Amino acid sequence: MKLINKWPKKFPQSLEGPILFIGMAETAVGLGAGIFDEVRDRYPQALYLTSTRHPIADGELFCKFKENHSHATDHLLYLPHNLEQRQWIQQAKTIVLIDDEATTGNTFLNLLSALREEGKLTQIKQIIAVTLTDWSGDALQKRSPLPITTFSLVQGKWQWQANPDAPLPVMPNVNITASGQVAITGKQSWGRLGMTTPANDLGLFIHVSEGEKILVLGSGEFVWEPFLLAERLEKQGAIVKYSSTTRSPIATNFAIQSAITFTDNYGLGIPNFVYNVAHQQFDRILLCC
């Protein structure tokens, strides 16, 4: 949360609205919600929307785009059910794109193209791209058809020389955009159908003891409300750590000390992972799904 608290200083006090904030599934949906929550009071017409890899049965598809280099390439964006929020999207003047990192800028450009062509957003005047790390240099500014400002905590560039003898890693197949056997409904769709204010009512019945060690686990794209639950339990005196299940495969080493692999909880039949949990001990684990 300390990282998220840095963002308000970077955002202008005023932006032309309506303003559409978009968090990228699945890594940046929580990051995006946190940034939106920190700055939303400045902007009277601001809406947060997340991309998703889970089709919404009763939703109206807004647009789709690709993250070409990803382990799961396809993203979907849906229109809110709320008519006023739909109007804000359709009349958006400022778009804020949020992801964990930018390497080439291609994903943001793919999304921007989809918003303008499929989504028919013709009134956009400026783009703000927000990332934790940005390795893209000025690629976005050079290639964007609209004025774009980039904010990141770390910027730089890197290069490497490929080792032709290096063994190829065995990658799990998680490149699925589909509805699983378990429907995602209600509270789980918190960002996929848009939000203007966060709901902080998950687990209100849960009580903790002073010093109790608790792990709160979100699942997939359902991460922001579990995070708010973790914050609330910490304020009650528990020692709380927060993480989430994910379909993102990461090699164990350096910061990743342990990994658990299991089948996803939405019935897609794909591998999911939890990192940096197996080597720790907790009094209670709260799985939010």
Enumerate domains of the chain plus CATH numbers.
15-155 (3.40.50.2020), 213-287 (no CATH)
Q: Give yes or no for residue 28 having a pLDDT over 80.
A: yes
Report the alpha-carbon distance of residue 96 to residue 100 in Å, rounded.
Answer: 13
Contacts of 97 (CB under 8 A, 6+ apart): 22, 24, 108, 111, 112, 127, 128, 129, 130
The mean pLDDT value of the chain amounts to 93
Average pLDDT (96-115) is: 95
Paired strand residues for 258: none
Q: Please, which pLDDT band fits residue 4 given cuts at 50, 70 and 90?
A: low
Q: Are 99 and 27 in contact (CB under 8 A)?
A: yes
Q: Which residue has the higher pLDDT, 135 or 184?
A: 135
Give yes or no for residue 3 having a pLDDT over 70: no
Q: What confidence tier does 188 reach under pLDDT thresholds 50, 70, 90?
A: confident
* pTM: predicted TM-score of the whole model, two decimal places: 0.95
- Which pLDDT does position 46 carry in this prediction? 97
- Provide φ and ψ at 148, rounded to 5°: -135, 135
224 contacts: CB under 8 Å, gap ≥ 6: 29, 30, 33, 34, 190, 191, 198, 218
Average pLDDT over residues 103-130: 95
Percent of the chain exceeding pLDDT 70 equals 98
What's phi and psi for 143, nearest 5 deg?
A: -105, -15
Q: Is the pLDDT of residue 255 over 70?
A: yes
Q: DSSP code of 24?
A: P
- Checking if the pLDDT of 53 tops 90, the result is yes
Residue 190 CA to residue 163 CA, distance in Å, equals: 44
pLDDT at residue 2, rounded to an integer: 63
Mean pLDDT on 86-105: 96
Residue 69 has pLDDT above 80, yes or no: no
- Please give the average per-residue pLDDT across 57-83, as a whole number: 92
Res 1: pLDDT: 59
Beta bridge partners of 47: 20
Alpha-helical segments (H) within the chain:
29-39, 83-90, 106-117, 139-143, 224-235
User: What SS3 class is residue 89?
Assistant: helix
